[in-house]
Amino acid sequence: NAGVTQTPKFQVLKTGQSMTLQCAQDMNHNSMYWYRQDPGMGLRLIYYSASEGTTDKGEVPNGYNVSRLNKREFSLRLESAAPSQTSVYFCASSLAGGRNEQFFGPGTRLTVL
């Protein structure tokens, strides 16, 4: 099992460009999450999906949109990238919500110039 996979690993964007970060899990988990990690700020929740067909905002959702494509895949879209969105983005999944362990992907390192 690959666990949680993310693409791309690295990306450089110019201000105003758009992009989609992809995440997939093969653990048959119901819940999926997107976090960002910034120096001195720790990991913060952007959006989450309790189950296929549902999505909800987390702590820092502004400037992002998400799509739960199916049970396996959960994508994060930046419609108009800003330098403040320079960060490392992690996708995670859990069997069923906050009662269960969350497993993380390797991350996408994004720089917005």
Partner 1 sequence: QKEVEQDPGPLSVPEGAIVSLNCTYSNSAFQYFMWYRQYSRKGPELLMYTYSSGNKEDGRFTAQVDKSSKYISLFIRDSQPSDSATYLCAMSVGGGADGLTFGKGTHLIIQP
Give the residues lining the site for partner 1 (CB under 8 A): 4, 30-31, 33, 35, 40-45, 48-51, 56, 58-59, 90, 94, 96-99, 101-107, 109
Q: Which is nearer to partner 1, 64 or 90 (CB)?
A: 90
Which burial class, exposed, middle or buried, applies to 34 when counting CB atoms under 10 A from its CB (0-12, 13-18, 19+)?
buried
CB of 94 to partner 1, least distance (A): 8
Contact 4, 25 (CB under 8 A): yes
CB of 112 to partner 1, least distance (A): 19
CB of 36 to partner 1, least distance (A): 11
Q: Which is nearer to partner 1, 19 or 45 (CB)?
A: 45
d(CA 72, CA 82): 28
Query: What 3-state DSSP class applies to 18?
Result: coil
Q: Which is nearer to partner 1, 14 or 53 (CB)?
A: 53
Contact 109, 7 (CB under 8 A): no
